[in-house]
Amino acid sequence: MNQESSTKVKERLPFDRSGSQDSLDEVLSMEDYWTELENIKKSHENRQDGQEAVVVKEPDEGELEEEWLKEAGLSNLFGESADDPQDSIAFLSTLTRTQAAAVQKRVETVSQTLRKKNKQHHIPDVRDIFAQQREAREKSPDGSESQSIGTNENKCQGKEDQTSSGAVENKELIPQVPEDTPASETDINLEVSFAEQAVSKERMPKSRGNDASLPSFRLPKDKTGTTKIGDLAPLDMKKVCHLALIELTALYDVLGVELKQQKAVKIKTKDSGLFGVPLTMLLEQDQRKVPGTRIPLIFQNLISRIEEGGLETEGLLRIPGAAMRIKNLCQELETKFYEGTFNWESVKQHDAASLLKLFLRELPQPLLSVEYLKAFQAVQNLPAKKEQLQALNLLVILLPDANRDTLKALLEFLQRVIDNKEKNKMTVVNVAMVMAPNLFMCHTLGLKSSDQREFEMAAGTASVMHLLIKYQKLLWTIPKFIVNQVRKQNTENQKKERRAMKKLLKKMAYDREKHEKQEKAANDVRKSWRPFVTVIEVISLDGFLPFKGPW
């Protein structure tokens, strides 16, 4: 590391050293983070290819909640489609107490905003929607728990009103221990809503332990097995995402952490090439060459090239490649990669690692998505490591397929690098410090912030990166309580469809019977009708035959 970077690191450290920052500063080497950030800034200045920076739209009053309801599949709770709240009763009846409270809070905000804007369509009172759900649960004939909806009045009573199905056994997080010391494993409960667990247990103080050593969590053995992302049909996965968003919001609400979704304004992006191309467009290009591929081919090739050089190389990922070589390699890859004429043997290992990080930074939108990047960053503000893990689990579920698959490939590669830490000197701490700026900070380089704020972001994002690497095997699991909710939704939808079918068949039978009665009445009229015909006989006096016929 050069002298200038060293000086900058030392200048940053004397700020407020409270809370988790104190432990991070004592144990984690922040030098790797600041050095990487300086390298990123230099790389950003050198690459002047005219690519526009992603523009994040700040939502107006009520717009954030309205967008949230749409993302959660609850757009029929407001606006013109809200005339019949019965359509949402089946869905709302599957929600937990905390989930319903989160939905109610957003519906109330949207309703108030729409009233202010003097919308012409009818806006149902939110109390009517949730009152019907409450009545439906109280009248449940199957003897299942009758869950009341958390309102402002009964939200405080949630801890006392928890029933056996909503309760969870308190499990203390294990004390922080040195990284080399094997930690005992703690089961993570996937059968009970994470937000309900946070409500039912006694609030624990914010974790201030050594972030270099995280507790080890494991999935308890389940007779029915665990459900992974990719196991479900697309329609069911869509319902899982709706519920994951509601559960994530409920968890943040319970813990008093603000969850802000953002929306990227459409910008002009490259429609071909390798660097600076949207993931979905890049995959479309790749699938024309390799049908069914789910991870960008350039990303796979860069990882392969790094591994071919040996993962024991000291300073792997930390030592940057030469800036001029990186620039030339980028240009050569753009022209020769899809032609199959690019010479990978000429790429040095550190250059390949720099290209890999450059690829992530050059994505028009962050790998962790514009919508949820702030939510990933906010994970550091949750009180306990267990809750941070739960939030990351839900956030991974919410990522678009292309982002999620690429993130999985990245984390698996980083773990393989860490497995060789004895030789390459890259522990999970070092890797987290180096990779955090590439995932979290690259889209905010142009924004001004204080040194104190920058230091807090460094410590926090490095901590989240550490969690992503450490718990990656758990993050692609769909919680069992969400699977059960999807199953219940499907059951309710089937009941609704059967009721609709019975109603249709009943109407068809009634219409047929009515038609038959009308047909019979018409036949009876035809049979009883006798035409009155007058026959007139004319007598001829001149000898011809008489003429007979109707008059």
Closest Cα partner for 194 from 239, 242, 253? 253
Closest Cα partner for 456 from 435, 477, 441? 441
Residue 498, number of CB atoms within 10 A of its CB: 10
Residues 421 and 340: their CA atoms lie apart, in Å, by 34
Residues 266 and 364: their CA atoms lie apart, in Å, by 10
The pLDDT of residue 168 is: 34
Instruction: Work out the widest C-alpha separation in the chain, in whole angstroms.
Output: 145
| Three-class DSSP category at 140 | coil
The pLDDT of residue 524 is: 64
- Which run of H or E residues covers position 547? strand 547-550
Q: Which of the four pLDDT bands, split at 50, 70 and 90, describes residue 164?
A: very low
Residue 158 pLDDT > 50: no
Strand 185-187 vs strand 477-478: parallel, antiparallel, or unpaired?
A: unpaired
Residues 462 and 33: their CA atoms lie apart, in Å, by 8
Inter-residue contact 257 to 381 (CB < 8 Å): yes
Q: What average pLDDT is seen over the chain?
A: 77
- Considering the four listed CATH numbers 1.10.555.10, 3.40.190.120, 1.10.10.10, 3.40.710.10, the one that applies to the domain covering 18-58+262-475 is 1.10.555.10
Over 169-216, what HEC string results?
CCCCCCCCCCCCCCCCEEECCCCCCHHHHHHHCCCCCCCCCCCCCCCE
The pLDDT of residue 146 is: 39
Instruction: Report CA-CA distances (Å) from 224 to 104, 228, 244, 474, 480.
Output: 33, 13, 21, 17, 10
Give the mean model confidence (pLDDT) for residues 37-56: 66
Q: Note the pLDDT tens digit of each residue in 483-530.
A: 999 999 888 877 777 777 878 888 888 888 887 777 777 776 665 555
Residue 53 pLDDT > 70: no
Residue 15 pLDDT > 70: no
Give the mean model confidence (pLDDT) for residues 98-105: 91
The pLDDT of residue 310 is: 93
Residues 169 and 444: their CA atoms lie apart, in Å, by 41
Q: Annotate 358-373 with DSSP letters as a single string.
A: HHHHHSSS-TT-TTTH
What are the percentages of helix, strand and coil residues in the chain, rounded to 5? Answer: 60, 5, 40
The pLDDT of residue 542 is: 59
Inter-residue contact 129 to 103 (CB < 8 Å): no
Instruction: Report CA-CA distances (Å) from 176 to 173, 215, 260, 539.
Output: 9, 7, 31, 130
Q: Which residue has the tokens 């929607």?
A: 129
Q: Annotate 469-485 with DSSP letters as a single string.
A: HHTHHHHTEEPHHHHHH
The pLDDT of residue 497 is: 74
Residue 538 pLDDT > 60: no
Residues 283 and 279: their CA atoms lie apart, in Å, by 6
Q: Where are the domains of the chain?
A: 18-58+262-475, 498-550
Q: Please indicate whether residue 125 or residue 174 has the higher confidence score (pLDDT).
A: 125
Residue 179 pLDDT > 50: no
Q: Which of 132-146, 300-314, 407-421 has the lowest mean pLDDT?
A: 132-146
The pLDDT of residue 7 is: 47
Q: Which of 83-92, 345-354, 418-427 has the lowest mean pLDDT?
A: 83-92
Residues 528 and 107: their CA atoms lie apart, in Å, by 65
Residue 9 pLDDT > 70: no
Q: Please tell me the pTM assigned to this model.
A: 0.76
Q: Please indicate whether residue 532 or residue 320 has the higher confidence score (pLDDT).
A: 320
Percent of the chain's residues with pLDDT above 90: 43
Q: Please indicate whether residue 490 or residue 445 has the higher confidence score (pLDDT).
A: 490
Q: Which of the four pLDDT bands, split at 50, 70 and 90, describes residue 167?
A: very low
Please, which residues have CB within 8 angstroms of residue 358's CB and are 6 or more apart in sequence? 43, 275, 326, 330
Inter-residue contact 162 to 202 (CB < 8 Å): no
Q: Which of the four pLDDT bands, split at 50, 70 and 90, describes residue 124?
A: low
Q: Which of 125-129, 137-141, 410-414, 494-498 has the lowest mean pLDDT?
A: 137-141
Closest Cα partner for 388 from 231, 207, 541? 207
Q: Note the pLDDT tens digit of each residue in 64-94.
A: 888 888 888 887 776 655 545 565 676 788 8
Query: Which of 462-494 are b and which e, b meaning 16 or more Cβ less than 10 Å from the residue's Cβ?
Result: bbbbbbbbbbbebbbbbbbbbbebbebbeeeee
Amino acid at 114: L
